[in-house]
Amino acid sequence: MTVPAPGAAATDPEDEPKDGETVVKAVAVPEMMPLVPPTAPPVQPKEGKIVFTRCELQPPAIALTFDDGPHPDFTPKLLDILKKENIKVTFFLVGRCVNAYPNVVKRMVDEGHEIASHSWSHPLLTSLGDQSLDSQMQRTHDAIIKACGVTPTLYRPPYGATRISQRKFIHDKFGYLAILWDVDPLDWQHPRTSKKVHDRVLEQTRIGSIILCHDIHETTVDAMPTTIADLKARGFQFLTVSQLLDLEKQAPALPNSPKLPPQAIAAMAAAAAPATPAAPPQPVPPPKPAPKPMDTSKPLSLEAPGEIKL
């Protein structure tokens, strides 16, 4: 991944993003929050994984995520689509946008979506000192709680970039897990089209994928009805990121288990078949072991560990 020169993308509002993320137009962020005292105890690494790019699990579940909002027009439009599709997603929110549009954040929570932190003003965190990092995360944490009463448990660093010491600091202070992604439709790139978003998401998504999208681009929001419908047709079920992480604990992937659900394998085989085959068609070997087909009309149960309803 190419990241902007330290400080460049964080402060120059005209900079084009370099790595798949959108730079929210930046303004100077005063450091008004309490600073980390110089005598703060050193961060101790905790046991367990604190960074995720995808999940390894058996059921064909995925998580759709949206960054950089809320946007006053496109996010409500997206929420309408998600309500119609009856799916829940995870929003990684920019703190100052939370402050600007708290009612949109409230609506996200009221409609069952997960909300998480994406920093206050979308800087490249690796360019920040400890005090600025603390301010970016604390202000966003407080703004989300103020807007909707929910305490976030996840964050996504802008551009996906953090130093290891910063991840440990954020995990220690806020208890956040860092959520990256394994599916990136590059929906910020020009020329933006909904078809590109749809095609790239469909091409990259596997069982356990975490899909990165941005609800500040209308083309991305407009891509969602067909994208969601086609992912459903392949047998995928949509969960929030926290639900996906829980499910990974309950139903981890078996060794050598296929990454694609049966419907996706069949769809890819059909798409690859020539219209007028000149040679005998090559059979597509079935995956071994094949995962159970999922009844997508029923929600996955996350209530009782070990009792996942498929």
For Zn ion (CB under 5 A), the number of binding residues is 4
Tell me: does residue 67 bind Zn ion (CB under 5 A).
yes
Residue 176, SS3 per DSSP? coil
In the bound complex, what is the minimum distance in angstroms from residue 9's beta carbon to Zn ion?
A: 10
Spatial distance between the Cα atoms of 49 and 245, rounded to a whole number of angstroms: 11
Catalytic residue among 122, 141, 198, 214: 214
Which amino acid is it at 187? D
Tell me: does residue 184 bind Zn ion (CB under 5 A).
no
The piece of 62-70, 173-181, 194-202, 216-224 that touches Zn ion (CB under 5 A) is 62-70
In the bound complex, what is the minimum distance in angstroms from residue 39's beta carbon to Zn ion?
A: 33
Binders of Zn ion among residues 111 to 170 (CB under 5 A) are: 158
Q: What is the CA radius of gyration of the chain?
A: 20
Tell me: does residue 21 bind Zn ion (CB under 5 A).
yes
In the bound complex, what is the minimum distance in angstroms from residue 112's beta carbon to Zn ion?
A: 23
Backbone angles phi, psi at 275, to 5 degrees: -65, -40
When the beta carbons of 156 and 171 are compared against Zn ion, the nearer one is 156
Spatial distance between the Cα atoms of 55 and 156, rounded to a whole number of angstroms: 16
When the beta carbons of 187 and 246 are compared against Zn ion, the nearer one is 187
Catalytic residue among 67, 134, 222, 246: 67
110 CB contacts (<8 Å, ≥6 apart)? none
In the bound complex, what is the minimum distance in angstroms from residue 160's beta carbon to Zn ion?
A: 9
- Indicate if 71 belongs to the active site: no
When the beta carbons of 154 and 264 are compared against Zn ion, the nearer one is 154
Tell me: does residue 187 bind Zn ion (CB under 5 A).
no
Q: Which of 273, 268, 264, 257 is nearest to 232 (CA)?
A: 264
DSSP labels, 105-151: HHHHHHTT-EEEE--SS---GGGS-HHHHHHHHHHHHHHHHHHHSPP
When the beta carbons of 23 and 264 are compared against Zn ion, the nearer one is 23
Spatial distance between the Cα atoms of 145 and 116, rounded to a whole number of angstroms: 11
When the beta carbons of 171 and 217 are compared against Zn ion, the nearer one is 217
The piece of 7-15, 63-71, 136-144, 245-253 that touches Zn ion (CB under 5 A) is 63-71
34-43 LR contacts (CB < 8 Å, sep 24+): 34/138, 35/131, 35/134, 35/135, 36/130, 36/131, 36/134, 43/165, 43/168, 43/169, 43/172
What DSSP character marks residue 57? B
In the bound complex, what is the minimum distance in angstroms from residue 265's beta carbon to Zn ion?
A: 33
* Size of the chain, expressed as the number of residues it contains: 310
Q: Which of 68, 134, 222, 246 binds Zn ion (CB under 5 A)?
A: 68
Would you state the structure tokens that stand for residue 145, as one six-digit string? 């709680």
- Indicate if 190 belongs to the active site: no
Residue window 220-239: x/- pattern of binding to Zn ion, with contact defined by CB under 5 A: --------------------
When the beta carbons of 21 and 85 are compared against Zn ion, the nearer one is 21
The piece of 13-21, 135-143, 163-171, 269-277 that touches Zn ion (CB under 5 A) is 13-21
* Residues of this chain that bind Zn ion (CB under 5 A): 21, 67-68, 158
Active site residues: 67, 214
